[in-house]
Amino acid sequence: MKQRIQSIILPLLILFLAMGCTNADQSNLSKKWKKVYPGVWKNDSRKSPTYDLLSSSGSSPKTEILKTFKNSAFPLSKNEIEISQKNGKTYLSFPLERKEQIYGLGLNFKTVKRRGQIFRLHVDHYNGVDNGRNHAPVPFFVSSKGYGVLINAARYIDVYVGTGVRKNAKNPAVVKDRNMDPTWEPMPYSDNIEIIVPESGVDVILFAGDNMMEVVQKFNLYCGGGFIPPKWGLGFWHRTPTMYNQKKVTEEINNFKKKKFPLDVIGLEPGWHSKAYPCTFEWDSTRFPTPKQFTQKLLKKDHIRLNLWCNPYLWPGSDLDKKMEPYTGSHTVWNGTIPDYTIPEAQKVFQNHIKKHQLDLGISGFKIDEVDGLDRWLWPDYATFPSGLDGEQMRQTYGTLLMKTTNDAYRSKNERTYGLIRAANAGSVSYPYVIYNDYYNHKDFITALINSSFSGVLWTPEVRASKTSEEWVRRMQSVCFAPIAMLNAWANGTKPWSYPEVYEACQEVAFLRMQLLPYIYSTFAQYYLKGTPPFRAMELVDHQIKGGIKVSKKLDDTENPYAETASKDLKDQYMMGDYILVAPMFEGQKKREVLLPKGRWFDFYTGKLVGEGGKITVQCGLDKIPLFIKDGAIIPMIPKIRQTSEWTLETPITVRVYGNKSGSFELYNDDGSSLNYEKGDYSLIKLKRDGTSTSTEIINNGKWQPKHISWEFVTK
């Protein structure tokens, strides 16, 4: 009977629905932009909220800060934006102009400019190709015109950045005969950026500002804003070999002291677990018989913090797994169960366990491995989870869920943590984690650092091993100008002094990082207070910088059968904070080119003028990393200290001044380890320079003001 009713009425109902849906879905979908903040508009075409990137992170916009921006005009012609739905997918199209360039769309390693590329944004371990599979495939792009778009969907998203050409294009390309016309191009002009989201309706946020930096700030703030790491997190990190025990780690710490190398954090690798791959999250009783004693001794006597490796897949039958069981997914990873951390009870189970076994002992944080890929390690897309989420949704957000869950545990103790993670996405910007991976191309590592600034994530080009001492010191130099300065000796057992002929240079740069702590810390404060990424692509500080030149490439029937030209991205130099242009040297290089933004630039070490916009050639010995300083730079530094515990209010600050330009810098300070700063418990001191005069001004309160500030004019 039921079937008869269905077979008669169903078609009628479907007809009626289809009529309704057609009208309701299509009408003015692309016109519904609702202004939510100055220069921020939202267009949500979903019938009701779904699991998305922002909801997965639990973040909320930094409303008060966003309101301080001035208004912007809607950056595009609304008529040229298309948003439509068909067969359970949403199609979006945004117009592009001829000279417009696009950035962002995740943690790519080989390219910075996006136009002409196609991505399928899919969390995965990077595999050598910028195709959308990477650790943070954030669906946010920024335009050189001064706007950005966030597609807030926890799905695999296809993005065609100026590749598709419509038959009826508004800006059609000129047809050319490849036989006879040498100007024939393999990629005709495309006037749109188009996106496919495999969901019915999607939440889109559009940002506009005076320049790309403002757009990125608004994006970061909308997604929760940046964070301030604990001070100890900005010291040097050393990860010990996997099977090290308490004794070996103690020796290691003593060696760092004897050899006079900075050290704030020791990273323990899988061997601290009683079982790993999958993990118990319990100390191995042979290798770490007295974990609490050990951790406390490191904290109190050696001023060393411990960061523990883990992957989130639970050893079946372990204590944690037994409690977690009702909240785990349909599949296993390395035979370990997969907790569904969208479920509050699952979060609590995990937090209770790690508090009991790790946090309460004094453990300072985690390195959360293997939340990215590969497809063959992790759960398949058809896996299911008790919350109802599927494998794809979980894949796109698992890193974010782990960051949130672990960070909340520290938060509940009013403690900051700082750790490592292998996957992130939109919404995770406020979580104190830095991305790393198993890849190792030094140049590509720097490109990733550059790209991180467009996507609201942080990246570290960790050092692990090297073929030569030249390579070793160059990598050490780079990593000391990154969010986490780290040597990861999990497999190789390397030490900073493994290459004696360059040890002194390694020490130099590690101590230089320590000297720059006040500057770096204040830079991170900008991340929290204004959404400004601490490490920046050149285009974010000078969007007119001419980074790319087209390089003609010969026709080759295998390598280049379409005679494509190669566009040279500016992908080997970046800004650390407002003033320091970092131009790392790579193994084999005797000299390198540096592209200076507009204005005058000075050598960090000598204070001398090196150029004023445009290209310079730099020669730099192994003992230094090329650093160039913006005119008017004000860089607060401390003496060479080995550990951040030595950095107190008493520590004298020398403020280095470069060039001639007047300006100011906001020196930030706080207690360095609690979350009290979120309630306003911090100091902002404005360091001002006007010609040859200098002054300081307390912006909010002087509680954390350094006691001794002196100035040094480096440029004579």
Q: Pick out residues in 95-154 that bind its own copies (CB under 8 A).
A: 116-118
Q: How far apart are CB 202 and its own copies at their closest, in Å?
A: 14
Please give the DSSP secondary-structure letter assigned to residue 103: E
d(CA 378, CA 530): 36
Measured from the CB atom, the residue of 222 and 272 that comes closer to its own copies is: 272
Q: How far apart are CB 194 and its own copies at their closest, in Å?
A: 6
Measured from the CB atom, the residue of 258 and 376 that comes closer to its own copies is: 376
- 538-557 residues near its own copies, rule: CB under 8 A: 555-557
Cβ(613)–Cβ(598) below 8 Å: yes
Please give the DSSP secondary-structure letter assigned to residue 72: -
Q: How far apart are CB 144 and its own copies at their closest, in Å?
A: 20
Would you count residue 605 as binding its own copies (CB under 8 A)? Answer: no
- Tokens at residue 543, please? 């969007």
**Helix 469-479 to helix 503-515 angle, to the nearest 10 degrees?**
0
Residue 416 backbone dihedrals phi, psi, to 5 degrees: -85, 150
Measured from the CB atom, the residue of 178 and 615 that comes closer to its own copies is: 178
d(CA 234, CA 252): 20
Among 188, 362, 386, 663, binds its own copies (CB under 8 A): 188
Cβ(117)–Cβ(161) below 8 Å: yes
Q: How far apart are CB 173 and its own copies at their closest, in Å?
A: 6
- 257-276 residues near its own copies, rule: CB under 8 A: 270-271, 273, 275-276
Residue 560: enclosing H or E segment and its boundaries?
A: none
Measured from the CB atom, the residue of 242 and 700 that comes closer to its own copies is: 242
Query: Omega into 188 within 30° of 0, i.e. cis?
Result: no
Q: How far apart are CB 98 and its own copies at their closest, in Å?
A: 16
* Sheet with strand 693-698: strands edge to edge: 663-669, 683-690, 693-698
Measured from the CB atom, the residue of 14 and 698 that comes closer to its own copies is: 14
The region of 186-194, 211-219, 600-608, 708-716 touching its own copies under the rule CB under 8 A is 186-194
3-state secondary structure 629-678: EECCCEEEECCCCCCHHHCCCCCCEEEEECCCCCEEEEEEECCCCECHHH
Size of the site for its own copies (CB under 8 A): 89
Residue of 557, 558, 550, 569 whose CA lies nearest to 187 = 550
* 693 strand-pairing partners: 690
Q: How far apart are CB 400 and its own copies at their closest, in Å?
A: 22
Q: How far apart are CB 369 and its own copies at their closest, in Å?
A: 10
Q: How far apart are CB 488 and its own copies at their closest, in Å?
A: 8
Would you count residue 191 as binding its own copies (CB under 8 A)? Answer: no
Would you count residue 187 as binding its own copies (CB under 8 A)? Answer: yes
- 327-346 residues near its own copies, rule: CB under 8 A: 328-337
The region of 28-36, 165-173, 295-303, 404-412 touching its own copies under the rule CB under 8 A is 165-173
- 424-443 residues near its own copies, rule: CB under 8 A: 438-440
- Tokens at residue 595, please? 């592209």
d(CA 222, CA 94): 21
Measured from the CB atom, the residue of 236 and 379 that comes closer to its own copies is: 379
Measured from the CB atom, the residue of 122 and 656 that comes closer to its own copies is: 122
- 480-509 residues near its own copies, rule: CB under 8 A: 488, 490-492
Cβ(400)–Cβ(56) below 8 Å: yes
Measured from the CB atom, the residue of 554 and 590 that comes closer to its own copies is: 554
- 45-104 residues near its own copies, rule: CB under 8 A: 86-88, 91
- 362-421 residues near its own copies, rule: CB under 8 A: 375-377, 379-383, 390
Contacts of 694 (CB under 8 A, 6+ apart): 655, 657, 687, 688, 711
- 1-20 residues near its own copies, rule: CB under 8 A: 2-3, 6, 9-10, 13-14, 16-17, 20
d(CA 17, CA 30): 22
- Tokens at residue 77, please? 């012609």
Binding mask 442-481 for its own copies (x = CB under 8 A): ----------------------xx----------------
* Residue 554: Cβ-neighbour burial (10 angstroms; 0-12, 13-18, 19+): exposed
- 554-593 residues near its own copies, rule: CB under 8 A: 555-558, 561-562
Measured from the CB atom, the residue of 438 and 593 that comes closer to its own copies is: 438
SS3 11: helix
Residue 709: enclosing H or E segment and its boundaries?
A: strand 709-713
